[in-house]
Amino acid sequence: MAGARIDVKTVAASATIGLCAALWPGSAAAYRPFNGTDAAVADPNEVEIEFQPAGTLTQGSGTSLVGPWTVLNIGLENRWEAVFEGKGQFPISPSGPFEITDPAFSLKHVLRPGSLQDQSGPSVAAEFGVLLPELNGDPGVGASLAGIVSQRWDWGTVHLNVAASLTREHNGDVFTGLIVEGPSKWTVRPVAEVFYEQEVSRTHTLSGLLGLIWQVRDNLSFDAAFRHGITNGRPVDEVRIGTTVGFSLAPMTGPRR
Percentage above 70 pLDDT, the chain:
85
Q: Looking at residues 105-116, what average pLDDT do you find? A: 98
Residues near 13 by beta carbon (within 8 Å), at least 6 away in sequence: none
Residue 26 has pLDDT above 50, yes or no: no
Is the pLDDT confidence value at 6 over 70?
no
- What is this structure's pTM? 0.85
- The per-residue pLDDT for 2 is 38
| Fold annotation for 2-248 | Porin (2.40.160)
What residue type is 86 in one-letter code? G
pLDDT at 135: 95
- pLDDT for the residue numbered 256: 52
pLDDT of residue 61: 87
What is the three-class DSSP state of 253?
A: coil
The mean pLDDT of 27-45, rounded to a whole number, is 82
* Residue 179 and residue 151 in contact, taking contact as beta carbons nearer than 8 Å: no
Confidence of residue 254 (pLDDT cuts 50, 70, 90): low
The pLDDT value recorded for residue 31 is 84
Span of 53-57, 182-186, 223-227, 253-257 with lowest mean pLDDT? 253-257
Q: How far apart are CA 236 and CA 62, in angstroms?
A: 10
* pLDDT at residue 39, as a whole number: 97
Residue pLDDT, tens place only, 224-252: 999 999 999 999 999 999 999 999 986 55
- Is the pLDDT confidence value at 213 over 50? yes
163 forms beta bridges with: 146, 175
| Residue 125 pLDDT > 90 | yes
Predicted pLDDT at 60: 86
In the predicted model, what is the mean pLDDT of the chain?
88
User: Domain spans of the chain?
Assistant: 2-248
Of 234, 224, 158, give the one whose Cα is nearest residue 193: 158
Long-range contacts, stretch 14-20, CB < 8 angstroms, 24+ apart? 14/51, 14/53, 14/68, 14/70, 15/51, 15/53, 15/68, 17/49, 17/51, 17/70, 18/49, 18/51, 18/53, 18/243, 18/245
Task: In whole angstroms, give the CA distance from residue 175 to residue 160.
Answer: 11
pLDDT tens column, 53-106: 999 999 988 999 999 999 999 999 999 999 999 999 999 999 999 999 999 999
Residue closest to 189 by CA, chosen among 159, 165, 218, 155: 155
